[in-house]
Amino acid sequence: MSAEEAGSILILNSNMSTEKYALAQTEFKSRLEKRSNLAEVNLGEKEIDEAGIEKIIREKNPELIYCIGSKAYMMSNKLAKEKKTVFSSAINWRRLPMGRNTYGVSNELPAGMVLMTYRYFFPGLKKIGVLYNQNYNAEWLKNAEKDAKDVGIEIIAESVKNSNRLDSALEELLPKVDVLWLISDPVVLSGPESTLNILQKSDSMKKPVFAYNEIFSSYGALLVIDADIPTMVEQASMMALDLLSNKKIAERVPSPAGSHIILNMKKVEEYGIELNKEAIGSVNKIIK
């Protein structure tokens, strides 16, 4: 292996054809444009395979790898676990294997901020349902329940021990709540099928869904509060520079500092939900 180039960075992108991933790469490069020692790999290219990526890592021998998306991170973790690594745009990051040199920016916003936004948009929806797995989100839920109480919301939670228990948990939870809040949980959201199942069952009972990533808007979520990509990448780039300077990182995986709000007006009208009209001004994207 060639000598590690001081300050060099390899950008691994899960797929540049994904708009959000392309934006993340552009933003990251713009913040480090003065650095000449940047290399890029797009895992979405057909001619790129694992052996090719391993060869690039071996030849470039970067000091740090910036991973955009879960696929890129998993590849980096497999081929270069010992490298300093920063990730962003990784859904359900808690399910990722975390090495001692792994850092990143969560894709999920702080619960308190999200709950305040929900309350502002839909003051009549006061009973919010949450599906969660205790191994991943017991502590998160405890804190979220406190935050909810502060803004006049009641969280009604149903534990999901494994993916086979999802249907029964949904049947138990949905009749008790005004809305379902999808959180980042690798057991509840184990794949596209489980996500579609949750949205379809909720829709059949006229229960709106709040979610945390723009992808859920295509499934029919009423309101999505997503992390703002430029802000998140700014955090990731600062973290990368600090790691290259051997500075101590205060928090291994901080929450994103900015948000992007998507409102599905079709669902508002379909369900006949009371919407605070003043809140519309803070929406970034409206689905009609």
For range 52-73, the mean pLDDT:
96
d(CA 174, CA 129): 7
For range 88-94, the mean pLDDT:
87
pLDDT band at 137 (very low <50, low <70, confident <90, very high): very high
Q: For the chain, count helices (H), then strands (E).
A: 9, 12
Closest residue by Cα to residue 188 from 92, 74, 88: 92
Alpha-carbon separation of residue 31 from 27, 235, 254 (angstroms): 6, 10, 19
What is the model's pLDDT at position 4?
Answer: 56
Closest residue by Cα to residue 184 from 283, 98, 89, 120: 89
d(CA 179, CA 173): 10
- Other beta carbons less than 10 A from residue 44's beta carbon: 17
pLDDT band at 7 (very low <50, low <70, confident <90, very high): confident
Q: Is the per-residue pLDDT at 242 higher than 50? A: yes
State pTM to two decimals. 0.79
What is the helix, strand, coil percentage profile of the chain, to 5?
45, 20, 35
- Other beta carbons less than 10 A from residue 66's beta carbon: 31
- Domains, in order of start, for the chain: 5-107+229-258 (3.40.50.2300), 111-226+260-287 (3.40.50.2300)
pLDDT band at 191 (very low <50, low <70, confident <90, very high): confident
